Structure 1
Amino acid sequence: MSVERYLIVKSPLNIECFNVKIKLICITFTWIYSALMIMIQLFSKNSFVLEGMLTSCSFDYLSRDSLSRCYMLLMLVGGFVIPFMLIIIFYVLTKKEIKKKNNYFFRMNSSELRRSLNSMSLIEDNSLNSREMGPILTKKDLVEGGTKICEWKEKFLPAKKNTSSERKTSSTQSSKNYYYFLLRREKRVLKRIILNVTCFCLAWMPYVIMTLTAQFGNNIENYINPFSTSIPGIIAKISSIYNPILYTLTNKNCKNYYKRLLRISKE
């Protein structure tokens, strides 16, 4: 999922072309990788044993022979360290890609803003110059018919300056709003990354601690019992339930889709 998110952010226009291909490659690689990890233990001497309350099976991490210890370390690296590092790497790359695109769009928006302001200023200057070429009636007394004196004191230039300044102020405010929108977007992505990585660690870290303690700890019979070994396994398996919910509900489009489904079902 972290790889897919990175590819979507990096090439959003081409994702429809290779979206199915990437998914098939990831699914095939996951099945082959998992099958190889299981087959090593399946054809070994110890194979799989019942763990915890004898309701589930796992690899034998209580035996301390060299084969069991090597397989436990292999599962630790291949089942926890490598996936954890891949999640971290691709989420960091996703964060950098979003930040780079935000900076690009902000620079593009700023350049468009400067061009629009320059064009508006040029139009204002041209209109003012055209007015200055005509008879501007300021600080003069105009005599009409030799009897009536009309004094004109209207000044057009300050009014136009105020209009131009108001436009610049509104454009600057819109640029600030756009910048704050990009900043909020980066914060949402960062929170999502922290949430996903934290949930992954909370799900599998107790199981890792239990296996390492069983292999390298002293006096393990005092705290390694069926109840204490079943709790980490339950926590790790619950991650298969909340992972899809976590990855879908943190997406705004998915939330809107589920809301529409609920409204349709109520109707």
Structure 2
Amino acid sequence: MRANHGTELPEDFWIPIPLDTNNITTLSPFLVPQDHLGGSGIFYALAGFMFFVFVFGTGINALTIACTVKYKKLRSHLNYILVNLAVANLLVASVGSFTACCSFASRYFIFGPLACKIEGFMATLGGMVSLWSLAVIALERWLVICKPLGNFVFKPNHAAACCIFTWLFALIASLPPLVGWSRYIPEGLQCSCGPDWYTTNNKYNNESYVMFLFCFCFAVPLTTIIFCYTQLLITMKMAARAQAESASTQKAEREVTKMVVVMVLGFLVCWLPYTTFALWVVNNRGQPFDLRLATIPSCFSKASTVYNPIIYVILNKQFRSCMMKMLGMGGVEDETSTTSAVTEVSKVEPA
């Protein structure tokens, strides 16, 4: 790059690698294809991946909501939270994945600066709701199965309050870049938008915003999930030892162990790459990195709209049977056999 574009701070974008130009505006991701950042094959491959995420993410989550509306038996307090997760995933898939697919296919962000801010905000909002919903699900399982509050019963109004909390906290986390604390700009290969991790200008104070997101939107939910599921495993193992001759208890213990491992790994796959990359950029200002690799964390977080419902919904026997019924692929199972593994476990207590 012939010019030091550290002194040029475009209002609506920032390309954080050296470029062979004296005028970075001529390479604006809102005006021209970003072929200087990667080969066309990479853009088209990512467009195909985002198309898959858009189609399946939109379909699975819309089906989850439709099933809950149609079948009254799905309207339990836990399923309210799962529907909240589905709504958040649907928002990310229909807005974030769709715009990313179109932009990768065009090799630049074709919708313009205002749409970039809207897409960044909506994707961040949906992502934060999804992330906190996972923590709320873990908290609900801990309260129901481990009974730390004694006879406290987790009711639908509690679930509704938790859902409202996820949206309020997500708004607190996603609004600041719209009012000057950081900003939403194209990221990675400049075809999707998110918070600005790159620049150090005091006008945006990006470092403090990144640390805020890391502490309250990643570390706290992850700690909640690990604590709750660890307590769940301990309770199940105690129940299994106390009822060593009960085949159903032993089976439930094994199922819960697998469930916990899958859920924690799913959370980490969703968010660890994105969080790690953001922290690395903030703490290694000026270090070169490949923007193609920088795009992967964003794609992983958007792909959570597909594998979150697979983990939390499709593996739930009630939702799975109702989905099959709605799609004409089978009948709804008897009530006695439609309870999910985690619900069966809630009936098991250590002696």
TM-score range, shorter chain: 0.5 to 0.7
Structure-2 change in CA distance of 1:18 and 1:190 (3 Å): closer
Give the CA deviation at 1:186: 1.0
Q: Secondary structure at the match of 1:96?
A: helix
RMSD (Å) for aligned C-alpha atoms:
2.8
Contact 1:51 1:230 in 2 (8 A): yes
Aligned to 2:116: none
Show structure 1 runs of 4+ deviating over 6 A.
Answer: none
2:297 aligned with 1:216: no
Structure-2 change in CA distance of 1:89 and 1:34 (3 Å): same
Contact 2:185 2:196 in 1 (8 A): yes
Contact 2:176 2:182 in 1 (8 A): no
Structure-2 change in CA distance of 1:218 and 1:72 (3 Å): closer
2:143 aligned with 1:78: no
Per-residue Cα deviation, 1:38-95 (whole angstroms, up to 9, x for no partner)? 2233212542212123332211100134621111111111221111111111111222
Q: Secondary structure at the match of 1:64?
A: coil
Counterparts of 2:239 and 2:251 in 1: how far apart (Å)?
14
Among 291, 295, 312, the alignment partner of 1:230 is 295
Unaligned runs of at least 5 residues, structure 2: 1-136, 333-351
Aligned to 2:305: 240
Instruction: Give 1 or 2: higher strand fraction.
Output: 1
Structure-2 change in CA distance of 1:218 and 1:54 (3 Å): closer
2:230 aligned with 1:92: yes
Aligned to 1:61: 197
Structure-2 change in CA distance of 1:205 and 1:6 (3 Å): same
Give the CA deviation at 1:18: 4.2
Q: Percent identity?
A: 22
The one-letter code sitting in structure 2 at the alignment partner of 1:207 is Y
Counterparts of 1:46 and 1:182 in 2: how far apart (Å)?
51
The one-letter code sitting in structure 1 at the alignment partner of 2:213 is M
The one-letter code sitting in structure 2 at the alignment partner of 1:196 is M
TM-score, length basis structure 1: 0.62
> Between Structure 1 and Structure 2, how many residues are aligned?
190
Counterparts of 1:7 and 1:199 in 2: how far apart (Å)?
22
Q: Secondary structure at the match of 2:194?
A: strand
TM-score, length basis structure 2: 0.48
Contact 2:199 2:206 in 1 (8 A): yes
Instruction: Give 1 or 2: higher helix fraction.
Output: 1
Counterparts of 1:63 and 1:219 in 2: how far apart (Å)?
10
Unaligned runs of at least 5 residues, structure 1: 107-174
Contact 2:236 2:253 in 1 (8 A): yes
Among 132, 145, 157, the alignment partner of 1:9 is 145
Counterparts of 2:194 and 2:167 in 1: how far apart (Å)?
18
Give the CA deviation at 1:211: 1.0
